[in-house]
Copies of this chain bind each other. A is one copy, B any other.
Amino acid sequence: MSSHQLKVAIVGSTGYGGVELIRFLQHHPHVTITSVISASSSGKPISEQFPHLNGMLDMVLDGVDPQETASKADLVFLATPSGVSSELVPRYLEAGLKVIDLSGDYRLKDTDVYEKWYKHQPAPADVLAEAVYGLCELKNNDVRDVRLISNPGCYSTASLLGLLPAVEAGWVNTDTIIIDAKSGVSGAGRGTSLTAHYAEMNENFKAYKVNKHQHIPEIEQVLGEVAGKPVQVTFTTHLVPMTRGIMSTMYMKTNGGHSEQEWIDLYRNYYKERPFVRVRSANQWPATKEVAGSNYCDIGFALDERTGRMTVISVIDNLVKGAAGQAIQNLNLMMGWDETLGLNMVPVYP
């Protein structure tokens, strides 16, 4: 640990987002974890909750105490649920910490929309106004030196990365976008429920929250900004009997005139400086396992010449590019570091 290490704290360390932050930050050359925080388990070793950390991170969990955290750390990651971050973020900011929030509480700029989809009290308006939405590969996204980053949702990340270049280029009829999204079960978090009960979900494939998922307004907010006009999408979420991975299969009417290869080139050009988006060649559709454990988003295409529809397929690891990995990528960009620091791991295959 060099004397110039950034000291970070993680709130929500006993959840899947928190423990995935730990996995990557342990390899980050410029970061030291100085506090792991859990409202419910403070005072206990984190290895009681996560025996796999034995010998790697032998820390005792701290409680939620912004002043104490500020004495130990420069920046805090909030891997806390929506409805909790809204209230915690101002307290950590006030204590002098920078904040990267992984919840949905600071993503939607319109508080009425937030209340409608999240059914929680919205975050304070001034803090919300300050938050920068951190979809790293969004053009002109700039989080350098900001104090509060709102990390995107998992479905939103997979879907938007597969749509942005085409929407920006005006190659797609934005009234026709349909997103059929599928997620591994870790997306439901570590809290037990019948939905995530092993015998219920194993060997099962199910739809949930059809047209009602809270990532819909987030996707529409970003697409609307890029398109320069309101965009509405049809969006279905499904659970897949696997732990990690999201695929968004997206359908849209094209505005005609471009071959599949031109689409591929458009996307490769859009992402040409960005190490974590990989655009596949023709007829090579991505699979979730090919990005498992990594920060990659892989994108493939199929133009249906019979119907004039483009199918775009995008995959991420929901816990990495869809949560902890992108949060660290945001940290790197915030600090002006190489965006791959701590994140350049090969996907775990098989």
Residues in chain A within 8 A of chain B (CB atoms): 16, 19, 22-23, 26-27, 50-57, 178, 180, 182, 184-186, 188, 190, 192-194, 196-208, 210-211, 232-234, 236, 238, 240-245, 247, 249, 251, 275, 278, 280, 284-294, 296, 298, 300, 302, 304, 306-307, 309, 311, 313, 315, 344-350
Nearest B-chain residue to A348, judged by Cβ: B293
Contacts of A196 in B (CB 8 A): 192, 197-199
Min C-beta distance of A10 to chain B, whole Å? 13
CA distance A197 to B192 in the complex (A): 6
Given the interface contacts A52-B347, A278-B54, does A202 sit within 8 Å of B207 by beta carbon?
A: no
What chain B residues lie within 8 Å of A182 (beta carbons)? 182, 205, 238
* Chain B residue contacts of A201, Cβ below 8 A: 198
Q: Cβ of A241 and Cβ of B238 under 8 Å apart?
A: no
Contacts A51-B287, A182-B182 supplied; 7 other A-B pairs, CB < 8 Å = A51-B290, A54-B278, A184-B205, A197-B198, A200-B350, A205-B240, A234-B304
Q: Which residues on B sit within 8 Å (CB–CB) of A293?
A: 293, 348
CB pairs A–B below 8 angstroms (5 shown): A23-B346, A54-B278, A55-B296, A188-B199, A199-B350
Asked, given contacts A26-B346, A207-B300, whether A240 binds B243 with beta carbons under 8 Å apart, the answer is no
Known: A210-B311, A234-B304, A249-B236. A200 touches B289 (CB 8 A): yes
Enumerate chain B residues within 8 angstroms of A291, measured Cβ to Cβ: 52
Q: How long is the Cα–Cα vector from A296 to B51 in the complex, in angstroms?
A: 12
Determine if A52 and B290 form an interchain contact, defined as CB atoms under 8 angstroms apart. Answer: yes
A243–B53 contact, CB under 8 A?
A: no
Q: Which residues of B contact A278 (CB under 8 A)?
A: 54-55
Residues of B within 8 A of A52 (CB): 289-292, 294, 346-347, 349
Query: Given A55-B278, A293-B348: A185 and B205 within 8 A (CB)?
Result: no
Smallest CB separation, A58 vs chain B (Å): 11
- B residues within 8 A CB of A19? 349
A14 to chain B, nearest CB (A): 11
Query: Which partner residue on chain B sits nearest A26 by CB separation?
Result: B346
